[in-house]
Every structure is written in structure tokens, then in C-alpha cells.
Amino acid sequence: MPEESSRGRRAISIHVHAETLAEQLKRARVEAEGIGAFHIFCDEPASIGGSNSAPAPLMYFAASLAF
């Protein structure tokens, strides 16, 4: 679980390992202590060398701003 500090704030450790699977297709394993681990995939459209098999990294970034 996140650690409590002396001021009531929490510190969260997030670990990420990313690898290229093919051309522009990438997979990241994201793990946060006490929360769990998830795999995230990203790709690019065919027009820039990907296969459009997963959202582009910029799409994840845009969605994170909306959350």
C-alpha cells in the first residue's frame, strides 16, 4: 500500500518495463505497489510505420488528461 508520510501525504512507487514487439508495436508492464500490475500496448498508424493494432501513445496521453 502507499506509504503515509508525516504530513498525511502518500508516496506511490510505480515501476514500468517497456519493450518493442514489432515495428512500432510496444508493450509496457506497469506495476504499482499495493495496486497491481497491468500490460499496456501501443502502436502507430500504418502511415507512419505501425499496424494500427493498439492506440497510439499520444491517445493514452490525451485520455490521461481527461481522467
pLDDT tens sequence across 10-24: 888 999 999 999 999
Residue 43 placed within a domain: yes
Domain of residue 34: give its range: 13-66
- Structural domain includes residue 49: yes
Q: For residue 19, is it within any domain?
A: yes
The domain tally of the chain equals 1
**3 occurs within a structural domain:** no
Q: Is residue 28 part of a domain?
A: yes
Amino acid at 66: A
Contact 29, 17 (CB under 8 A): yes
pTM to 2 decimal places = 0.76
Q: Over 70: is that where the pLDDT of 3 sits?
A: no
The more confidently predicted of residues 2 and 66 is 66
In single-letter form, the type of residue at position 11 comes to A
Adjacent-strand bridge partners of 16:
30
